[in-house]
């Protein structure tokens, strides 16, 4: 959230909090972000957090890799015997999924034991195996792609391990930092779209819609799904995205075939930018390779439009 600066007030520092409109926000790296207090740091709460983060990781990554933990040995054997590089990458992603699920299965057993009054130390064999599974899954995370087929999103894949190893309050702080970085990428893509397209007559009407969509995307990035406000911000975000996808450039009746093709490609680029903003907002992590790739495409389009 962007909040207008107040006169005679010092510049905010990372971690500063402020009440605005009845809601609390925390400041990180140029953005005021909706603040949610950390949950209590108990094993039971940590288990719920890890379960949620694991489901989220599978939701945002490619299909077919949510391998049950009980299939870990089979997934490892398939990975080790595969020699084709393209297929081996997928086997690595499936093995990573099995490792994540095995780790969450083990952690569930640890929490169940605690609820029975059995204290499990950090040096316990179950805890060590749980940690090893998380670490190996994290190491294999670079082989896992986003569900769009774009780059991997290591930050999402690594979050269950972070929640296992870090104090809960520190984990929440790391999420605020990533949300700020996500907002930065959202704004970078939107600013690029406005600069490249909105100076052209065919796309001049897009400016306000792009600005509104970027603002809605930042809201999605900062809002937890359990917050009732999601029933307001999500429909707004989806509706604005549908308007962007439905946009039709204004093409002069006497436009040449080359210009018509260039305008059509520009519309495709706008839809690609809309999708990329949606991916970042939903995953709540930056996607630097995809953002840079999109910016390069827009730069080439801008140059060709001026030639």
What is the three-class DSSP state of 18? strand
Q: Which residues pair with 26 in a beta bridge?
A: 17, 33
DSSP lists the bridge partners of residue 17 as 26
Residue 61, token pair as written in the block: 């990554």
Q: Burial level of 170, CB count in 10 A (0-12/13-18/19+)?
A: middle
- Among 76, 108, 107, 110, smallest CA distance to 93 is for 76
What SS3 class is residue 178?
helix
What is the Cβ-side half-sphere exposure of residue 123, based on CA atoms within 13 angstroms?
0
Task: Give Cα 250 to chain centroid, integer Å.
Answer: 33
Cα–Cα distance, 20 to 166 (Å, whole number): 30
Sign of CA dihedral 269, 213, 293, 145: negative
Residues 265 and 259: their CA atoms lie apart, in Å, by: 10
Number of neighbouring beta carbons within 10 Å of residue 116: 7
Q: Calculate the alpha carbon distances from 148 to 1, 59, 103, 123, 231 in Å.
A: 27, 11, 26, 40, 25
Contacts of 231 (CB under 8 A, 6+ apart): none
Spatial separation of the C-alpha atoms in residues 1 and 226, rounded to whole Å? 19
Number of residues in the chain: 307
Question: What's the pLDDT at 276?
Answer: 95
* pLDDT value of position 3: 47
* Per-residue confidence (pLDDT) for residue 246, from 0 to 100: 93
Q: Which residues in the chain land under pLDDT 70?
A: 1-9, 151-152, 306-307
DSSP state of 61: B
What is the residue whose two structure tokens read 């997934």? 75
Give the integer Cα–Cα distance in Å for 307 and 303.
6
Residue 127 has what pLDDT?
87
Within a 10 A sphere around the Cβ of 54, how many other Cβ atoms?
22
Q: Supply the pTM of this predicted model.
A: 0.86
């Amino acid at each position: 959230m962007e909040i207008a600066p107040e006169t005679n007030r010092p510049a905010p520092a990372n971690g500063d909090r402020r009440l605005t409109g009845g809601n609390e926000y925390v400041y990180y790296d140029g953005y005021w972000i909706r603040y949610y207090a950390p949950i209590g740091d108990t094993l039971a709460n940590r288990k719920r957090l890890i379960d949620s983060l694991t489901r989220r990781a599978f939701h945002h990554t490619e299909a077919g890799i949510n391998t049950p933990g009980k299939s870990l040995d089979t997934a490892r054997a398939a990975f080790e015997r595969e020699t084709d590089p393209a297929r081996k990458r997928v086997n690595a992603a499936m093995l990573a999924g099995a490792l994540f699920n095995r780790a969450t299965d083990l952690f569930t057993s640890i929490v169940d034991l605690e609820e029975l009054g059995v204290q499990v130390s950090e040096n316990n064999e179950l805890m060590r195996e749980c940690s090893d599974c998380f670490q190996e899954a994290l190491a294999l995370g670079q082989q896992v792609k986003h569900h769009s087929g774009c780059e991997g999103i290591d930050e999402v894949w690594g979050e269950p391990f972070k929640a296992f190893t870090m104090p809960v309050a520190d984990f929440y702080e790391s999420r605020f930092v990533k949300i700020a970085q996500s907002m930065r990428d959202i704004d970078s893509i939107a600013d690029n779209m406005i600069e490249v397209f909105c100076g052209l007559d065919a796309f001049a009407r897009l400016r306000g819609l792009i600005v509104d969509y970027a603002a809605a995307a930042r809201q999605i990035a900062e809002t937890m799904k359990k917050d009732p406000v999601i029933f307001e911000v999500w429909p707004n975000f989806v509706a604005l995205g549908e308007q962007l996808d439905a946009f039709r450039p204004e093409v002069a009746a006497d436009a040449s075939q080359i210009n018509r093709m260039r305008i059509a490609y520009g519309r495709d680029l706008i839809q690609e930018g809309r999708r990329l903003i949606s991916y970042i907002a939903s995953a709540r992590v930056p996607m630097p390779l995809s953002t840079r790739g999109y910016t390069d495409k827009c730069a080439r389009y801008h140059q060709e439009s001026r030639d």
